[in-house]
A and B are shown apart, each in its own frame.
Chain A
Amino acid sequence: MPDVYTSSIIDAPADEVWRVVRDFNALPAWHPLIAESRIEGGAPSDQVGCVRAFRLKDGGFIRERLLALSDFDYCCTYSILESPMGVSDYVATLRFTPITDGNRTFAEWSAQFECPPDRSAELVEQIGRGVFQGGFDALKRRFGG
């Protein structure tokens, strides 16, 4: 089972970063790859179990279910229900941890999934660098870091 792990340092307090990213429907507001998003069935975006349906700027359509959300740990976990990437059993976690030294934030984004073996390296690269690091780079630009 391929494993992706990306981490970074964002030069802002963790609670400030968390305020932006905790909204499960807010990807278009901070992630550069996402064009639009909505929560299915009109559910609140912090209701565990809700599904976000979003479209990438390249046109791809993805549905993801919120599995866990913690304002205490600054952490959320979600799974992919539908995507053009060709992965299955995809579960990802996004976590922000305060760095007391400098009042900064340690950001981690990880995922595990199944895919055909010959696509594993390509998908790890695409998810780890394109999606996760791309998201962190956007947060660093926004907050500094």
Chain B
Amino acid sequence: MKVCRSTVIDAPVDAVWDVLRDFNGHYRWHPAVARSDLEDGRRTDQVGAVRDFRLAGGERVRERLLSLSDRERHLRYAIVSSDVPLENYVAEVRLKPVTDGNRTFWSWSSRFDTPPGRERELAGLVAEGVYEAGFDAVRARVGRARGLAMPRPPRRTAAVAGSIDGTAISIDRYGSADELHPVSVSAPPPGPGQVRIAQRAIGVNFIDVYCRSGYFRLLEPPGVPGMEAAGEAIDAGEGVRHLRAGQRVAYACPPVGAYTTVRTMDAALVVPLPDSIDDVTAAGGLLKGMAAEFLLHTVHPVRRGDIVLVFAPAGGVGRLLCQWANHLGATVIGATSSEEKARAARAAGAHHVVVPGPASLEEQVMEITRGHGADVIYDAVGRDSFDHSVAALAVRGHLVSYGQASGDIGAREIGPLAERSATISRPNYGHYTGTPEQVAAITRRLFDAIERRILTIEVNHRFALSDAAAAHRALEERRTTGSIVLVPD
């Protein structure tokens, strides 16, 4: 059956389109929608994105964006799965300018099938409960008669005596970088085992994007993302012996919440910073550097003469792995995708670089190593590289799979590993950096390596904390090299 509803909104067409084109923003105005999340970290204007609605009545409806045209001010979407029995449901929203009066014509229509006997009920639900209710809500939001929509009020945590006010960057729900917005926060005095930090620089990592999009459930919205920062300890709670007020400190650890000007947190995994390492370097290098440290010293202790294959050798952790493995006396091979990145890999200490060509990765590695293969492979690419990595291993080689930039690796046969007596590790950052002793040992070696210029932390992008959304966009669009740091405004 077909349902079509249309109306006129007394607002310019661009103002109405701004509201409607935000495929994941309908919960903000539509009374029937309680919550909306975009799946798979897609953006709100990304065709193919699936929004996961929770309706006010508790039902779940998932809808896919089929087309979006800013030129025609037209979008179409289809139900992917629904607790409401609407089948083969395809809907379209179209706006047109009413030049006579600078108003907007809005049509909202759909075709769908229903279970027998429920046609009228469900058509009424769609026409009135969804479309007409939506017209009224948007009219109230942008229509001239009712004035402008109210800005979002800042959220405040309950103020405790002695709290210090600050600003954090928060998300109210999973979604695109657009979800990052400033909120007022209040950092209470540190309790036992806690420290309160005035933050001077905050690191931005790809894990923050996963956290924001919901790919990793590191926070339940509303919440503040961010895993690492550096600044000054304002005060420390009872029982904290390794930190004192006024000391420069840094951390790279869960829980998330680093995108803030001031923070009270567990002190156990916060470390003092040496004078030789400035705040920006610490915020830009601690997480990646700590990962490189335990990958090369604990997950697989690299020795002189080892052949080490590093994927993404121009990337954040990859670059540090190359520098450090080279210093340790290994023969370093970088596996990358372009000649530009190959140059960066060589500059970071890769002795050889393999790029895609007529010969496979494993053939190239075997040729370079005269048939020996790689003693250890650091692979954060995941799905696309896994089989090649296994094939490029030396006998009794070790594949360290520490990331999945190309997607989940999925289920694999372990039988073929016997061909090389191969070992595979799937290290988790928290399991190597989860105690004060581990963090102290790792950061001691890391800070030493930075001071001795074995490692260089390149912070090539600085953004104001309030501009965290721009930092995320730059990172997601692969427009960055080296580290990104947010600096409180």
Contact = CB atoms under 8 A, between A and B. Distances in A.
Is the pairing of A and B real?
Answer: yes
Which of B5, B99, B105 has the most A CB atoms < 10 Å from its CB?
A: B99
Nearest to B131: A100
A8 B98 contact: yes
A6 B8 contact: no
A112 interface: no
Nearest to B7: A101
A114 interface: no
Contacts of B100: 6-9, 133, 136
Contact of A97 (B103, B107, B132, B135): B107
B311 to A, nearest CB: 52
Given A7-B105, A9-B103, A101 B6 contact: yes
Interface string B86-109: 000000000011111101010100
Interface in A93-108: 97-102, 104, 106, 108
Interface of B: 4-8, 96-101, 103, 105, 107, 132, 135
22 contacts: A5-B97, A6-B99, A6-B100, A7-B100, A7-B105, A8-B99, A9-B100, A9-B103, A97-B6, A97-B105, A97-B107, A99-B8, A100-B4, A101-B7, A101-B132, A102-B7, A104-B8, A106-B6, A106-B96, A108-B96, A128-B99, A136-B100
Which of B7, B103, B105, B135 has the most A CB atoms < 10 Å from its CB?
A: B105
A12 B96 CA distance: 19
B99 A7 contact: yes
A100 B126 CA distance: 14
Given A97-B107, A101-B132, A106-B105, A9 B6 contact: no
Nearest to B103: A9
A8 B7 CA distance: 13
Which of A8, A99, A100 has the most B CB atoms < 10 Å from its CB?
A: A100
Contacts of B97: 5, 7
A136 B7 CA distance: 19
Nearest to B132: A101
Nearest to A95: B96
A10 to B, nearest CB: 10
Interface string A1-42: 000011111000000000000000000000000000000000
Given A7-B105, A9-B103, A106-B105, A99 B7 contact: yes
A106 B95 CA distance: 11
Q: Please name the 9 residue pairs, one residue from A and one from B, whose CB atoms are nearest each other, closest first.
A: A8-B100, A101-B7, A106-B105, A99-B6, A100-B5, A7-B98, A7-B99, A100-B6, A6-B99
Nearest to A104: B8
Given A8-B100, A99-B105, A100-B7, 7 more contacts: A8-B101, A99-B7, A101-B7, A101-B8, A101-B135, A102-B7, A106-B98
Contacts of A7: 96-100, 105
B96 to A, nearest CB: 6
A5 B100 CA distance: 11
Given A97-B107, A101-B132, A106 B99 contact: no
A99 B5 CA distance: 7
A30 B46 CA distance: 46
Which of A8, A128, A133 has the most B CB atoms < 10 Å from its CB?
A: A8
Contacts of B6: 97-101, 106
Contacts of B103: 9
A142 to B, nearest CB: 15
